[in-house]
Each structure stands twice: as C-alpha cells, then as structure tokens.
C-alpha cells in the first residue's frame, strides 16, 4: 500500500499585539501561550479585521499586526461556542484560531492594523 502523501494546508493568518511584543516575536518567533479560550497555543485569525482589535484596551497607535503563513495540520472546527462574560474575547463575528505548535508558523511581516469596525458574534478554530 505504501505511504500516502501528506496533504499540507497553509493559511495566511494575522496576530494582533503591541509594538514591543511584535519586535520580540519578529526576533525570536512565537511562543505558546499558557492557556486561553481555546487552550494553549498561538492565537491568530485569518481575518485582518479581527487581529486588528488586539490587544484589547490597548491604544490603537501602539498596535501591530503580524502577518504569518501557517501549516495548520489537523483542524478542529467550532462554529458556535459559549463565551463567558468579560472573558477577554472580542465580540466580532470573526473567526479566532489557536495554533498549538508555534513551529507551524512562518512570520511574513509586521503590518499596521486596520481601523476598528463594530460588529457582533464569535467564531473559533483550533489547529493542532
């Protein structure tokens, strides 16, 4: 039967952060967070508007978005989720992704965030 070729799925994604954290990430790469709504990993979105909203309650002039390409591997999809009040997620209706393994992330560039637009709802994906 032999080995089956591996199907590689790559997505362009975005990570919103502060300018200081962006400099560190650009120099040393991403580190897995200790936790979060989707568990430990690196939180990203395929939607620039979503990443542009982070970090929450941080001055917009000091926000940076890091553009990356991710080899997503195994994907777990959630199209709805209960979100506790004041949990820190942005109500946007735009997907949020968690990449468990930072080694799957290739940094492309740091870019300016998009101006914030109001919206509502939640969406989430977990990438193993």
Q: Can you give the CATH number for the domain in which 85 is found?
A: 3.90.228.10
pLDDT of residue 128: 44
Which residues have a Cβ under 8 Å from the Cβ of 13 and sit 6 or more positions away?
44, 45, 46, 51, 67, 68, 69, 70, 97, 99
- Residue 81, domain member (yes or no): yes
Beta strands in 19-62 (DSSP E): 42-44
pLDDT of residue 16: 96
Q: Which residue range forms the structural domain that includes residue 95?
A: 10-127
- Residue 97, domain member (yes or no): yes
Q: How many domains does the chain have?
A: 1
- Residue 35, domain member (yes or no): yes
Q: Mean per-residue pLDDT for 91-119?
A: 82
- Residue 5, domain member (yes or no): no
Q: pLDDT digits over 1-56, tens only?
A: 455 555 568 999 999 999 999 999 999 999 999 888 778 999 999 999 999 989 98
122 pLDDT higher than 70: no
**Greater pLDDT, 94 or 41:** 41
Q: pLDDT digits over 102-112, tens only?
A: 999 999 999 98
- Residue 101, domain member (yes or no): yes
Query: In the block, which residue shows the tokens 């991403």?
Result: 30
């Amino acid at each position: 039967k032999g080995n089956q070729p591996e199907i590689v799925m790559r997505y362009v994604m975005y990570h919103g952060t502060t300018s200081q954290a962006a400099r560190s990430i650009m120099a040393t790469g991403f580190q897995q967070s200790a936790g979060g709504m989707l568990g430990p990993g690196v939180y990203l979105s395929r939607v620039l508007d979503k990443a542009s909203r982070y970090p929450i309650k941080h001055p917009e002039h000091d926000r940076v978005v890091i553009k990356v390409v991710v080899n997503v591997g195994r994907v777990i999809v959630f199209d709805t989720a209960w979100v506790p009040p004041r949990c820190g997620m942005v109500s946007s209706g735009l997907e949020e992704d968690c990449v468990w393994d930072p080694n799957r992330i290739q940094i492309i560039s740091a870019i300016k965030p998009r101006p914030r637009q109001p919206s509502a709802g939640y969406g989430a994906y977990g990438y193993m």
